[in-house]
Chains A and B, each alone.
Chain A
């Protein structure tokens, strides 16, 4: 069974640009969550999607957005990039729908904003 796949693995962008990250969950998983991981703040929850609907959102500005497609694949977009957005962005999938919340993580996308 294929694991959670995130693309691209690495990105370098300049301030003011926008970026789109992609996540393919484990087959059969309907919930996809996104996290920002930095050395200082650890893992911070961005948002969670289930059946194409955003169910929960963390405390990030509106520049951070996401969506989920009918096949459960998800994308995350960050507009008007700032230097502080440099981080490892992790995607996690789980069954969702009231079952176990055990999450399976992708390897992440390392975003560097210069």
Chain B
């Protein structure tokens, strides 16, 4: 069955330190993967998608098909990065989300 796993419910990182939010997926086909972010009191919004291979707000994510991972990384955390992050797997007719990781940036 298709599944997205985010092993950390909460990740606390000091400002200026590197960030890595882990995401693993189970899917036998060619995946379409996304990272969504939800800032406090804002709607869930797309952060980045693997096919665009772009960097948004300093975040990048590389698809590793061998390890079935799509970890989200940022070299230097900023306080405004504090939010809830969801990894998602896009299929033909639905999107499967992980349970999310709350990123807390410490001053």
B86: chain A residues within 8 A (beta carbon): 42-43
> Of all chain B residues, which has the CB nearest A45?
B94
Interface flags for B78-107 (1: CB within 8 Å of A; 0: not) read: 000000001010111111111110000000
Evaluate whether A105 and B44 lie within 8 angstroms (CB atoms) in the complex, with A42-B86, A56-B93, A100-B32 already known.
yes
Interface flags for B40-82 (1: CB within 8 Å of A; 0: not) read: 0001111001000000000000000000000000000000000
Q: Are B43 and A105 in contact (CB under 8 A)?
A: yes
From A31, A42, A102, contact of B49 by CB (8 A)? A102
Alpha-carbon gap, A89 to B86, bound state (A): 16
B34 lies within 8 A of chain A by Cβ: yes
A100: chain B residues within 8 A (beta carbon): 32, 90
> Of all chain B residues, which has the CB nearest A58?
B94
Q: Are B44 and A33 in contact (CB under 8 A)?
A: no
Alpha-carbon gap, A90 to B100, bound state (A): 15
Q: Are A106 and B34 in contact (CB under 8 A)?
A: no
Alpha-carbon gap, A81 to B86, bound state (A): 28
From A45, A56, A104, contact of B97 by CB (8 A)? A45
A70 lies within 8 A of chain B by Cβ: no
> Of all chain A residues, which has the CB nearest B99?
A42
Q: Which of A3, A50, A103, A104 has its CB near the most chain B CB atoms (within 10 A)? A: A103
> Of all chain A residues, which has the CB nearest B42?
A107
List which A18-46 residues lie within 8 A (CB) of chain B: 31, 33, 35, 41-43, 45
Q: Lowest 10 A-B CB distances belong to which pairs? A: A101-B90, A42-B99, A43-B97, A55-B93, A105-B44, A42-B100, A107-B43, A56-B94, A56-B93, A48-B94
Q: A-side interface residues toward B, CB under 8 Å?
A: 3, 31, 33, 35, 41-43, 45, 48, 50, 55-56, 90, 92, 96, 98, 100-108
